Amino acid sequence: MLDPRYAYMSAYLKAEEPKMVSGSHMDRLSRVTNVADAIGIIRETDIGSYLEGVSVRGFEDIDAALWQYLAARIAHVEAFQYLPDDMRKVSRAFVVKFDVANVKSTLQGIATGEKTPLLPLGVIHDDGFSEDLQASETVQDVADVLTRSRLADFAPVVKAYDPTGGAKAKIALESRLESLYYHGLLKTARVVREGSSLAKAYGLIIDLVNLGIVCRAVVEGIGSAAGDFLISDGYIIDEKMLRDVLPYKLPDVPRRIDLPQYRDLANEIASAYDKTKSVTVIEEVIERHKFATLRDLLSPRVLSPLVMAWYLVLKETEVRNVRLVLKAIYDGVPVEEVKRYLLL
């Protein structure tokens, strides 16, 4: 017999979706030129109501408030008395992505000498070590924080990072951190209800991340050595196929991929890069496809931990979308110019 808690949480989380910022909100936001009007447009949403109560002196305040809002929403849902244990496991595994982001940001600051604020989410934050991470001055300092905050598996990857190693060292670090994160998600999928469907979703995301690693490595001229950075346990793409394209130029990559859906994606990446000559466009294209993949696989599901997985994806995406739009308005950039970066 199905645990009635799944019905309760499914109903609650699905009822949250109409309270989120939608595509129609974004269309209206494209016509405003100040933050007050923008917040007014999304006033009826949960995040808009939250922002109305925030004291704002600049974009940094808005940025901090948005991430604090996300942290508060995750904590709120995790605190539900009727939350099934496997839904909580899905949430706990998900938030490690913010630890990965914070570790990357900290190490980038060590390499460049320019520190950036950390996101107020994740295991490190929950364990009270955010200030220690922010204050880290060496790679060893970061590894020590990870060890003390229940993320000891990540410490050896960090210790192996050489901040003077350039693009190759950076891609190696980031891909190995991502690998640990995604394998943590797969481990969780093996112990929850409908875990096979969740594992499929995560496996397809690994495919996309790997394609992004390959395209970035090709653009930055790293070559065959980048094959060691690929994440294992993808769903469709064979690792050998990805390794085989590494010696080639980006325009040659698509025709060397035998899978139609990924060949089309590689073509999209090559075309976008040809227009912009910016490595960041690779991640932008990959992120759009990751969101679409998760939407197709997770959003229709109810009465299972997949409802929690989709809710978390949606809330993070909402925060990132609103952040991007408000940053454009603060900077005097027409919202229309950033709409292509939104995930809707």
* 289 and 212, same domain (yes or no): yes
pLDDT of residue 188: 97
Residue 122 CA from chain centroid, whole number: 13
Determine the average pLDDT of the residues in 270-291.
95
Q: How far apart are CA 121 and CA 74, in angstroms?
A: 9
| Percent of the chain surpassing pLDDT 90 | 88
What domain count does the chain have? 2
Residue 109 has pLDDT above 90, yes or no: yes
Q: Is residue 112 part of a domain?
A: no
Residue 93 has pLDDT above 80, yes or no: yes
Point out the domain boundary residue: 300, 318, 335.
300
Determine the average pLDDT of the residues in 115-137.
95
Q: How far apart are CA 39 and CA 12, in angstroms?
A: 25
* 284 and 203, same domain (yes or no): yes
* 203 and 279, same domain (yes or no): yes
Point out the domain boundary residue: 285, 300, 315.
300
Residues 6+ apart with CB under 8 A from 145: 124, 129, 132, 133, 136
Q: Is residue 5 part of a domain?
A: yes
Q: Is residue 342 part of a domain?
A: yes
Residue 122 has pLDDT above 70, yes or no: yes
* 276 and 204, same domain (yes or no): yes
Q: How far apart are CA 245 and CA 100, in angstroms?
A: 28
pLDDT tens digits along 2-55? 789 999 999 999 999 999 999 999 999 988 989 999 999 999 999 999 999 888
Residue 284 CA from chain centroid, whole number: 11
Q: How far apart are CA 61 and CA 328, in angstroms?
A: 15
Q: Is residue 157 part of a domain?
A: no
| Sign for the pseudo-dihedral over CA of 66, 70, 76, 77 | positive
* 291 and 322, same domain (yes or no): no
pLDDT tens digits along 129-142? 999 999 999 999 99
Closest CA to 173 of 205, 213, 206: 213
* 342 and 249, same domain (yes or no): no
pLDDT tens digits along 260-277? 999 999 999 999 999 999
* 289 and 318, same domain (yes or no): no
Give the helix ranges, DSSP H, for the chain: 4-16, 23-29, 35-41, 46-52, 59-78, 85-94, 96-112, 123-126, 130-134, 139-148, 155-159, 166-189, 195-219, 239-245, 260-276, 280-298, 306-330
* Average pLDDT of the residues of the chain: 94
Burial 223-260 (b: 16+ CB within 10 A, else e): eeebbebbbeebeebeeebbeebbeeebeebbeebeee
Judged by average pLDDT, the poorest of 22-26, 250-254, 335-339 is: 335-339
* 270 and 199, same domain (yes or no): yes
pLDDT tens digits along 162-191? 999 988 899 999 999 999 999 999 999 999
* 313 and 245, same domain (yes or no): no
Instruction: Compute CA distances 89 → 67, 120, 186, whole Å.
Output: 21, 20, 12
- How many residues belong to the chain? 344
Q: How far apart are CA 283 and CA 178, in angstroms?
A: 14
Q: Is residue 76 part of a domain?
A: yes
* 327 and 282, same domain (yes or no): no
* 314 and 252, same domain (yes or no): no
Position of tokens 């009727």? 82
pLDDT of residue 3: 84
Instruction: Compute CA distances 154 → 99, 146, 147, 207, 236, whole Å.
Output: 10, 7, 8, 21, 26
Q: Is residue 141 part of a domain?
A: no
| Percent of the chain surpassing pLDDT 70 | 100
Residue 45 CA from chain centroid, whole number: 22
pLDDT of residue 2: 72
Is pTM beyond 0.75 here? yes
Residues of the domain holding 318:
1-84+306-344
pLDDT tens digits along 212-245? 999 999 999 988 889 999 999 999 999 999 999 9
Q: How far apart are CA 56 and CA 82, in angstroms?
A: 36
Tokens, residue 61: 């305040």
Q: How confident is the model at residue 1 (pLDDT cuts 50, 70, 90)?
A: low
Q: Is residue 105 part of a domain?
A: no
Point out the domain boundary residue: 300, 317, 333.
300
Closest CA to 36 of 326, 342, 328: 326
* 272 and 314, same domain (yes or no): no
CATH number of residue 2's parent domain: 1.10.132.50
Q: How far apart are CA 218 and CA 275, in angstroms?
A: 17
Q: Is residue 54 part of a domain?
A: yes
pLDDT of residue 340: 87
Q: How far apart are CA 208 and CA 202, in angstroms?
A: 10
